[in-house]
């Protein structure tokens, strides 16, 4: 998870319908939990949680609250729970970015809305989520809201297209990380990642790199920092 969030919370039980092959929820200790098995469902008791204030809270870190199958009233109820505690920053992230425009985020004093674009290429064998192009278009259709993009776990990509999309989106920052679960993913070369990072730096798009990226790029960025 991100080291810039202070808290995480989930109102949804059941298995995320995107079924990404690298899903962390289906690995390790989380896979032992009945909570994240079976059909998607709303966990009513989770609405009792008092979010307090002064936190940066990642909402639905074990699922995708905008995935198909998560009913509109459920999404509205989750957003409303957050809205009851306006003195926090909320982080909403989805691979189903085309659905984001159906909801209001501008009512939050502080929130970040992000999508995962592991690559510009389609990898339907890795995830059932909508195509990366549709995620890019979904984010483009969002109004005035702070956006971020996470390229994690990074998959082999085309540098020019990725840079074009990210320049269009003008995110607050881009998170870049690699697979840390030995999922056997098609990964880009070190050279491609370096070209991407250099291009984003030239475009003045802040980049938050995960330490696990060093498995592919070594200490390239540390050495040139
Ligand atoms: S979108 Fe996230 S929670 Fe859903 S299957 Fe993919 S990795 Fe897992």
The 10 Å CB-count burial string (b at 16+, else e) for 105-116 is beebeebbbbbb
Give yes or no for residue 150 CB within 6 A of ligand 1.
no
**Low-confidence spans in the chain with pLDDT less than 70:** 223-225
Q: How far is the CA of 157 from the centre of ligand 1 (A)?
A: 20
The answer to whether residue 113 is domain-embedded is: yes
Give yes or no for residue 126 CB within 6 A of ligand 1.
no
Query: What pTM, to 2 d.p., does this model score?
Result: 0.95
Q: How far is the CA of 60 from the centre of ligand 1 (A)?
A: 10
Residue to mutate, 2, 20, 97, 180, ligand 1, most ligand atoms under 8 Å from C-beta:
20
Choose among 151, 5, 12: nearest CA to 70.
Answer: 12
Q: How far is the CA of 18 from the centre of ligand 1 (A)?
A: 6
The answer to whether residue 16 is domain-embedded is: yes
Domain tally, the chain: 1
The answer to whether residue 1 is domain-embedded is: no
The answer to whether residue 84 is domain-embedded is: yes
Residue of minimum CA distance from atom 4 in ligand 1: 16
Give me the CATH number covering residue 107: 3.20.20
Q: How far is the CA of 204 from the centre of ligand 1 (A)?
A: 29
Query: What was the pLDDT predicted at 81?
Result: 98
Q: Tell me if 113 sits within 8 A of 147, measured CB to CB.
A: yes
The answer to whether residue 132 is domain-embedded is: yes
Range of the domain at 74: 7-224
Residue keyed to tokens 């697979």: 179
Query: What was the pLDDT predicted at 225?
Result: 42
Distance CA 174, CA 97 (A): 16
Query: What are the angstrom distances between the C-alpha of 7 and each of 1, 131, 217?
Result: 10, 29, 30
Residue of minimum CA distance from atom 6 in ligand 1: 20
Q: Which helix (H) or strand (E) holds 215?
A: helix 214-217
Query: What was the pLDDT predicted at 181?
Result: 83
Atom of ligand 1 nearest to the CA of 16: 4
Give 160-215 pLDDT, tens digit per residue.
999 999 999 999 999 999 998 889 999 999 999 999 999 999 999 999 988 899 99
The answer to whether residue 2 is domain-embedded is: no
């Amino acid at each position: 998870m991100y080291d810039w969030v202070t808290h995480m919370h989930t109102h949804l039980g059941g298995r995320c319908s995107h079924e990404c092959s690298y899903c962390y929820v289906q690995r390790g200790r989380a896979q032992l939990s009945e909570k994240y098995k079976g059909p998607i469902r709303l966990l009513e008791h989770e609405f009792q949680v008092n979010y307090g204030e002064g936190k940066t809270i990642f909402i639905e870190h074990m699922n995708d609250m905008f995935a198909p199958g998560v009913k509109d009233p459920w999404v509205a109820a989750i957003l409303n729970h957050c809205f009851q505690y306006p003195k926090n920053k909320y982080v909403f992230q989805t691979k189903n970015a085309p659905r984001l425009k159906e909801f209001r985020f501008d009512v939050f004093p502080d929130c970040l809305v992000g999508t995962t674009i592991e690559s510009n290429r389609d990898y339907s064998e890795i995830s059932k989520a909508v195509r990366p192009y549709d995620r890019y278009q979904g984010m483009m259709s969002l109004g005035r809201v702070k956006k971020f993009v996470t390229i994690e776990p990074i998959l082999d990509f085309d540098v020019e297209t990725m840079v074009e999309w990210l320049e269009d989106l003008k995110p607050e920052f881009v998170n870049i990380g690699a697979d840390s679960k030995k999922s056997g993913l098609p990964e880009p070369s070190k050279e491609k990642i370096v070209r991407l990072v250099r291009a984003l730096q030239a475009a003045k798009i802040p980049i938050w790199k995960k330490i696990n990226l060093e498995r592919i790029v070594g200490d390239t960025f540390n050495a040139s920092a």
